[in-house]
Structure formats: structure tokens, C-alpha cells
Structure 1
Amino acid sequence: MAAADVQLQDFSSLFSLKGKVAVVTGGSRGLGLNAASAFLQAGASMVFITSRKAAACDEAVAALNALPNLAPGARAISVPADSSTMAGVESLLAQVKKHTDNVDILFANAGATWGQEFDNHPDSAFAKVMDLNVKAVFNTIRVFAPLLEKGASVQDPARVLITASVAGRGVGTLGKQGTYGYSASKAAVIHLGRNLAVELGPRHISVNSICPGFFPSKMSNGLLSMIGGADKLAKSNPMGRLGQGEDIAGIVVYLASRAGSHVNGEAIAIDGGAMWQSGEVFQAGESQSKL
């Protein structure tokens, strides 16, 4: 029995994404671009980068394809589309289908936020944040499900990863820069992910959410400065620092590889434990755009 217990099936490939095909929404910068880089460097053969701006997608793809350690023939491909609309999601699908008839990994990362005091928080801003952060995620997963099913199996399911936030698991930013729609949308998308995990599991598709805390980026630096700056926040974190690209890379490769094949319906925080600190308020510093 002991001898059998130490035998693990092909451990050297446990975290490999060799030959996998991935689609990353909101992949032209920030956490989406970190994840795309990780997928490629872990062995993926094709990684599709999409966001609203074609120039940003092209720039990201050029940087990804210049990485020195890609598998032979591996490449990133620019497929600009506005996933906030149904027409945009369908355009994205059509562009991807020109290159492949199956997708192994769908990273639903595109999202937005809006910060404003409660009494003057615009209805239009709340609606747009909910539409992109929840409805668009649902529509993207729904439309891509046939491609995800194509090569999936019990032992090697297709993977859907959703970018949620620690703000969806507790209290987000309040006050002058209150992100009420953002926090509500991230709570909603976490629960959407749980429902889809049960719905799509029998179709050999797992669904998990990642919940970043603060990750310094172009889009989060303004909020960081308002609450005392990155250095102050880093010192208050139980781990003594804020998030970095490798933290995202590690979790997405784990969930997308054979190592994470039996994880389904989870929402994993990547915040150094900050959300458990008494009285802490937080807001994900991911690559989200203010509408």
C-alpha cells in the first residue's frame, strides 16, 4: 500500500499547459496580461488576447510573442472585441473560431469599476459595472461552452476562470470613492461561478473564481494614493507586501493545469490574508477600467 501511495501519475507534467488553447478577456494589461504570459510560459500553444482597443491587444501580443521561453510554434493572437455587448461576445467567438474549433481555458477577466460617494452614485455607472462584471461574464461563458466541451473529458476538463475580487467576499471601498456596484458585481459573479460549476461540471467544464486584493497597476494607483499609498498598505498586509504578477501566474496555472483538475466552484483569495484583518476595507487593484 505504501508503495502505491507514493506513485503519482506523471508528476513532471502536473503543472504543464502543453498544447492548451486559452482565451483571456481583458488580456491587454494588468492581471489579464500576467495570466496570458503565464499560460504561454506554461506551454499553451495559443493564447487569444481580447479587449476593446485593438492597438492595446496588438501591443500585448507583440510583447508576449517576444518571450524567450515559449514552446515551438506557440503564439499569442490579437482578437479585439467589446465583451460588454452580446455583439462583441459573438465577434470574439467568430474571431477565435477562425483559428481553432476548441478552447481549453477561458479566463473571464474583463471588468470595470466606478468610485463615487453613495448619495450621488450614478444609476448609469452602477448598471454598466453590473453589465460588464456579471452579465458579460455569463454571456461569454455561455457562448464559448461548445468550444470548451469539444476536447474536454472527465480526467482533463476544460477550465473557466473568473476574475472576482476580495471586495465580493466582504466590504469594498466606501466613502468618497465608494465602489458599491463593483463590490456587488463581484459578489454576484462569485455566486454565478458556483452555479455554473454545478451546471457545467457534468459537461466536463470546471468553473472557479480568483479574488485578488490590491495589485499595484496603472488603474489602481489612484485609489491606492487616496488610502495612504502602496507602501502604507503593503506594511499593513499580514504578508508585508501587495500582490504581484507572479501571484496571479501561480494561481491561474494551478487552476488551469492537471494540478487543479478536481477544483470546482471555488473562489480563491489572493491578498496575503488582508481580508481577515479586523476593520480592514479593501478593493481589488486589478486591471479594471473606470467607465
Structure 2
Amino acid sequence: MSTPEDLVKLDDFKNIFSLKGKVAVISGGSRGLGLHTASGEGPLNDAAKALNALTNKSPDARAIAIVADISSQAGCTQMAAEISKTTDHVDILVANAGATFIGHMDEYKEDDFDRVMKMNVSSIFFSAQKLSPLLQAGGTVQDPSRIIMVSSVAGVVVGDMGEHRTYAYAASKAAVIHLMKNLAVELGPKHITVNVVAPGMVPSQMSAPLMNRHGGIESVSKQAPDQKLGSPEDVAGVMVFLSSRASKHINGATIVLDGGSYLVRGCA
């Protein structure tokens, strides 16, 4: 029989956000990955070196770069095979590959649309499919494995982009959210939770052209209720939360990370 103390007891709460000992796979770690695989090897290796050089990481933590064309099912199979050479399980999959095309509706070609959908939707599905055995090997009822898909606020609302609409990108990011819901139901019983992070404008190489068209960082910042843009730290914080024991009972959720901008800038 439970005592009053048992009802309020928190299990190792001081370490609830700890990721110590976890194995994480982050796809899309290099710009153009899946589109220009060979040229992506350098940036991937550079990213791994930078992570391994961090002074505040655990001594036994290390980053490994794996080059694969995840825009295809065969490429995802190759990725999973390479990962299996270094670990017998995966705790966290962050599906972060992305591509976009900006232009008037009449300017789109079939290849433009298909390329975005393959990178932004197909790559996520087949990454989850091929890594599912490794994720199942790492998950338990009390500490499930995690799949975190990166969508966008563009998949949540329709913003006013004028002549610079991102039809394929917006459609793909909305598809990611609904894909997440389906996989959350499918994989939940297998001790894998699936959630989405939908960032708004975060300064990056991909967002720079669109941000410039809207007056730059200062102008875009003023459109948000909290009067600022997201930062890498904001994104990392949500990722750590969703990867940690603190989120073990969250499944099928979309976290919009844009300071509330989506509430005022567009229509659902």
C-alpha cells in the first residue's frame, strides 16, 4: 500500500534531464546531405570534430560522422548498417534533414517539389523504419527510446510570404506532423515515443534568404510576441527535454518553438 511519502516521491529528480550513456543519431548533420553526399563528408567530419572537442562533454562521449544519402530507402538502409557497426542499440533519433524551394507557384517544376518531399518526409519515414530495430533494442516501458522529428511552424500555419511562398516546404512540414502522429501510435507499444519540434525563424544558412526578404533579423524579431528570434540554445533545450527521462510520457506531441509568433502571424 502506498504511503503519502510514496505519492510525492520523485525518482532521481536531480538527473531527470541527464542523457549520460545515451546513443543518439542525428540525421541531416550537414547542409545538402542526401543531395550532395560526397561534398557533405567534409562538413560532417568537421561537425564531429567540433563536438568531440567540447570541453564540457563527458569523457566517454564521442561523435561519429556517417555519410549516407537518406533521401532514399537504400541510403537509410546503409545508414542503419553503418550505425550497427558501432552500437547494438539507439536511444534517440533526431530526424533533422531538410530542403526547401522558394518561388511563385508557376515556377515550380516536378523535380523541385519531389526533391523537397523526399528529403523532408521520405527521409524521416525510412530513417525511422530502418532504425526501428535498434530503437526497440534500447527502449523500455520506463525509459522508451525517442524519435524527434524536426518540422517547422510553416507546417502549422499559413504565413504571408507574398511572392516567396514555400509550397513544397510547407506541405512537407505539415506531412511530418501527421506522420509523427501515426508513428506515435504504431511505435508506442514498442517502447518508442515519437514527437515533433516545429521551430519558427532561427538564424541559419537556410533561413537567411527568407529572413532578408522580410527586413532582416530585427524586423522579423519584432513580429514575435516575445520580441526575439529563436537561438540554437532554445532548440537544444527542447531537444534535451524530449530526449530525457523528463519527457518519457510525452508521445504524439508537437512543440512549436517560435515565441508565440504562429498565434499572430498566420491562420491555422
How far did residue 172 of structure 1 move?
4.3
Any stretches of 5+ residues in structure 1 without a counterpart? 30-50, 282-291
1:12 maps to 2:14: yes
Query: Which residue is 1:215 aligned to?
Result: 202
How far did residue 2 of structure 1 move?
5.1
> In the aligned structure 1, how far is the partner of 2:106 from the partner of 2:244?
45
The SS at the match of 1:76 is coil
> In the aligned structure 2, how far is the partner of 1:114 from the partner of 1:212?
18
Query: Which residue is 1:288 aligned to?
Result: none
How far did residue 136 of structure 1 move?
1.4
The structure that is strand-richer by fraction is 1
- The counterpart of 2:147, out of the listed 139, 154, 160, is 160
TM-score (norm 2): 0.93
**1:8-52 residue CA offsets vs partner (Å, 9 max, x unmatched):** 0100110001100000011236xxxxxxxxxxxxxxxxxxxxx93
Q: Is the 8 A contact 1:173 1:179 kept in 2?
A: no
Query: Which residue is 2:107 aligned to?
Result: 120
- The counterpart of 1:59, out of the listed 33, 41, 46, is 46
Query: Which residue is 1:78 aligned to?
Result: 65
How many residue pairs match? The answer is 260
1:187 maps to 2:174: yes
Any stretches of 5+ residues in structure 2 without a counterpart? none
- The counterpart of 1:169, out of the listed 148, 156, 162, is 156
After TM superposition, the runs of 4+ consecutive aligned structure 1 residues lying more than 6 A away are none
Q: Is the 8 A contact 2:72 2:122 kept in 1?
A: no
> In the aligned structure 2, how far is the partner of 1:204 from the partner of 1:10?
21
**1:111-141 residue CA offsets vs partner (Å, 9 max, x unmatched):** 1110000122222111111111111111110
**1:57-96 residue CA offsets vs partner (Å, 9 max, x unmatched):** 0000010000001112210001011111122111111111
> In the aligned structure 1, how far is the partner of 2:197 from the partner of 2:203?
17
Q: Is the 8 A contact 2:159 2:266 kept in 1?
A: no
> In the aligned structure 1, how far is the partner of 2:22 from the partner of 2:159?
35
**1:220-240 residue CA offsets vs partner (Å, 9 max, x unmatched):** 111101111111111221111
Query: Which residue is 2:131 aligned to?
Result: 144
Query: Which residue is 1:101 aligned to?
Result: 88
TM-score (norm 1): 0.86
Q: Which moved more, 1:208-217 or 1:113-122?
A: 113-122
Cα separation, partners in 2 of 1:173 and 1:108, compared to 1, 3 Å: farther
Aligned sequence identity (%): 48
Query: Which residue is 1:23 aligned to?
Result: 25
Q: Is the 8 A contact 1:172 1:180 kept in 2?
A: no
How far did residue 260 of structure 1 move?
0.4
> In the aligned structure 1, how far is the partner of 2:53 from the partner of 2:30?
15
> In the aligned structure 2, how far is the partner of 1:17 from the partner of 1:230?
33
* Aligned amino acid, residue 22 of structure 2: K
